[in-house]
Amino acid sequence: MFVDILPDFQKFLVSRGFADEKHAPFYARWVSKFVAFSDEDEGADFQEKRRKFLEQLSDSPGIANWQMNQAETALKLYFEQFDKSAAKLGPNSTLSQINDRSDPASIIIAMGKAIRVKHYSYKTERTYVNWAKGFFEYLVGVRKKDIQKSGLSSEDVRDYLSFLAIKKKVSSSSQNQAFNALLFLFRDVLMIGLDDIAGAVRAKRGPKLPVVLTESEVREIFDSVTGKDKLILQLLYGTGMRISELTCLRVKDIDFEAGMIFIRSGKGDKDRSTVLPEYLKAELRAHLKEVKKIHEKDLAAGYGEAWLPDALERKYPKAVKDFGWQFAFPSAKLSPERDTGKIRRFYMSPKTIQDAMSEAVKKAGIAKHATVHTLRHSFATHLLLNGVNIREVQELLGHSHVETTMIYTHVIRDISNAPQSPLDKLYATADKQ
């Protein structure tokens, strides 16, 4: 469809392994669209044009998150790898300074920088920014507020949270997420206190029990999947890891001798360890041998540097090429780092794992709403059913409070102490007569 767009750039993508022949035209299409957009905005510098283009794209109806990511990646590859001279990036080209506190676009840019300074994850950044955008759309589009004239206040946050609960009917967890995003926006970016939001209507959340699979259902799911996908799902169930913890797992944090997996900077930026199933050791070793071949191929091509958190890359400059620091489940292709544009091989997409789980559940014919996280719930419940101490389960899951882990005791109680239905008793009595 787009085969005639920027053919040299497409060849570059395919030859370097950044995209296959099927998807390369789509990367070229985003660059072509940006060039057309850039020609219409002659006054702005390159970075400003790119910001405006991506912002306009984000606000366009029908644009999914994966398309936004693809567009951002395409521009980085083109201007920071393929044709560096096309973008004259100066040392002061960042747009993260907040110049106009009444301009939502400037505020959101500053918010993104503040989030990165705090070392929050990219997922958190995208989530918080999206809530901030929704907040400003509410103020301008629904309340018709002139931000430039009247400014922002805690009353705006209170009204928006009430709007989410009453009009949008969001869940309590979504409303709390929105509140956390706006709390960060006001306190860390706008330097405005949020003391007057007690009157906000809060979405209610009743007690919920997690979906848990039986041991036979877990086995049926594993029988419905093969290869690397099966290894990943078995590892998630056998260790109780979250999907983000598995994708970010480094080779060095798998200790085969001790039978342990060390999880670094998990939820709440906490480290912990969990058990490595003996059953998976041989298959996991074979998988890591294949990962090492990929890493050696990357090194031979001039790449092979792992992304290291915080300032570790400056502290241990040689570590970036060590195999131990590579992701245990790497992405199928190289891609540019979001901030620097440096080409690296990051971890595989969580969506790939979610899709594999969804397909396996469907093939197994299981009607429960079972997701990847259900494997973690099942891990905890099955340990407790097997007599493992709840405190030990708490440690393996990385819960700060035992009360969080105790939710699984309710599941066990419901499973093991379910009362007999009066219907069963009725017919049992009739059969005896």
Q: Which two tokens stand for residue 268?
A: 């709440």
DSSP state of 82: I
Residue 432 annotated to the active site = no
The residues near 181 (Cβ < 8 Å, ≥ 6 apart) are 127, 128, 131, 132, 135
Active-site option among 128, 138, 237, 408: 408
Q: Report the run of H or E that residue 312 belongs to, with start and end.
A: helix 312-315
Q: Is 408 one of the annotated active-site residues of the chain?
A: yes
Catalytic (active site) residue 267: yes
| 356 contacts: CB under 8 Å, gap ≥ 6 | 225, 229, 232, 233
Q: Which helix (H) or strand (E) element contains residue 273? A: strand 272-275
Alpha helix (H) ranges present in 151-242? 154-166, 172-184, 215-223, 227-239
Given a contact cutoff of 8 angstroms between Cβ atoms, the answer to whether 210 and 399 are in contact is: no
Distance CA 274, CA 252 (A): 14
Asked whether the beta carbons of 16 and 2 are under 8 A apart, the reply is: no
- Respond yes or no: is residue 272 known to be catalytic: no
The sheet with strand 254-255 has its strands ordered as 254-255, 260-263, 272-275
Give me the catalytic one of 23, 228, 267, 342: 267
d(CA 1, CA 344): 29
Instruction: Count other Cβ atoms within 10 Å, centred on residue 36.
Output: 10
Give the C-alpha separation, 324 to 249, whole Å. 10
Q: Is 376 a catalytic residue?
A: yes
Asked about 399 being catalytic, the answer comes back as yes
Q: How far apart are CA 400 and CA 15, in angstroms?
A: 48
Out of 52, 101, 202, 373, the active site residue is 373
Q: What is each CA distance from 9 to 4, 22, 27, 38, 68, in whole angstroms? A: 11, 14, 9, 18, 19
Residues across the chain: 433
Which among 49, 242, 250, 382 is annotated as catalytic?
A: 242
Query: In a 3-state reduction of DSSP, which class is residue 385?
Result: helix
- Catalytic (active-site) positions: 242, 267, 373, 376, 399, 408
